Structure 1
Amino acid sequence: MHGNSVPDTYVYVTEEGVTRHYADGSVDALAWEDVVEVRVAGDTGADVLYILLDHEGQGCVVPRSATDATFLARLRYLPDFDLDRLTAAVDAVSDPYVVVWRSPEPPSALPDLEYD
């Protein structure tokens, strides 16, 4: 009996964020509200990678082969996101990566707290 093989990765896009499940059981996830940078990079497997990062440099790496129109549509909701810039970066994937979007607002600083 021949069944479909299990893909190496699953990507789920919701209104809250993006989650990538790997075949080994590990998971990368990032809430849209925490995304401060989007990068595009080439992969040794000839796929294009979308790299979403938060202000601490943690993030979620999403292969283009694991995305659909929902992912790209959701990227467009990031403030001042330029889909043409993304398309140009994908067409001319370079090494190591190209930053295609940064948050127009820097992360807010933590308030100075006084302790008794």
Structure 2
Amino acid sequence: MHGNAVPDSYVYVTEEGVTRHYSDGSVEAMAWEDVVEVRVVTESASELLYILLDRDGEGCVVPRSATDATFLARLRYLPDFDLERLRAASEAIADRIVVVWRSPEPPAALQDLEYD
């Protein structure tokens, strides 16, 4: 008997933040107020990840397959978030990491990636 495969993770997006639950029981969570950087990672033509980082460099990884309009709409509330920059990064070639948004006061603990 064949059933539907169990997803490796699922993501909840609320007004308070983002939570990703993995099949092994581990959880990543990030409050929107703690997000200081948003990165887009293109691993292949079909695999794209959004990475939300806090001031300590801890993150919450959100696969594009787990996002919906709620997630993208909530990103727009980050100060001066540029949806066009996000779109361009999402269409980038594979194996790239692009910083699409950084808080006006980024912490020194984050790796300094140049904007494209």
TM bucket by the smaller chain? Answer: 0.7 to 0.9
Higher radius of gyration, 1 or 2? 1
Hey, what does 2:62 align to over in structure 1?
62
Identical aligned pairs, as a percentage? Answer: 78
- Where do 5+ consecutive residues of structure 2 fail to align? 108-116
Kindly tell me the number of residue pairs found equivalent between the two proteins: 107
Distance 2:37 2:95 in 1: 17
Hey, what's the Cα distance between the residues in 2 that align with 1:25 and 1:35?
Answer: 23
Alpha-carbon separation, structure 2, partners of 1:94 and 1:55: 27
| CA RMSD in angstroms, aligned pairs only | 1.8
**1:96 CA displacement:** 4.1
- How far the C-alpha of 1:104 sits from its partner, in A, is 1.7
Distance 2:61 2:18 in 1: 10
Structure 1 unpaired stretches of 5+ = 108-116
Amino acid at match of 1:52: L
- TM-score for both structures, normalised by structure 1: 0.84
How far the C-alpha of 1:4 sits from its partner, in A, is: 2.6
**Distance of 2:94 and 2:104 partners within structure 1:** 24
TM-score (norm 2): 0.84
Amino acid at match of 1:3: G
Which residue is equivalent to 1:76? 76
